[in-house]
Amino acid sequence: MTSGIADVSNNTKKPVNPRLVLLAAIMVPGAGHLLLGKQLRGAYFLFFSIVLGWLTTKIAPEHATFIGRHAGGFFIYALSLPDAYRIAKIQSFKAQQEKALLNMVENPPKAD
Going from the C-alpha of 81 to that of each of 4, 66, 103, the distances in angstroms are: 35, 20, 33
Does the pLDDT at position 96 exceed 80?
yes
Does the pLDDT at position 7 exceed 80?
no
Quick check: is 59 in a domain?
Answer: yes
Quick check: is 86 in a domain?
Answer: yes
Predicted TM-score of the model (pTM): 0.80
Which range of residues forms the domain containing residue 23? 16-106
For residue range 16-74, list pLDDT tens digits in order. 999 999 999 999 999 999 999 999 999 999 999 999 999 999 999 999 999 999 999 99
Q: How far apart are the first and last CA of the chain?
A: 29
pLDDT of residue 1: 43
Quick check: is 55 in a domain?
Answer: yes
Quick check: is 7 in a domain?
Answer: no
Quick check: is 101 in a domain?
Answer: yes
Does the pLDDT at position 9 exceed 60?
no
Quick check: is 2 in a domain?
Answer: no
Quick check: is 97 in a domain?
Answer: yes
Structurally, the chain folds into a number of domains equal to: 1
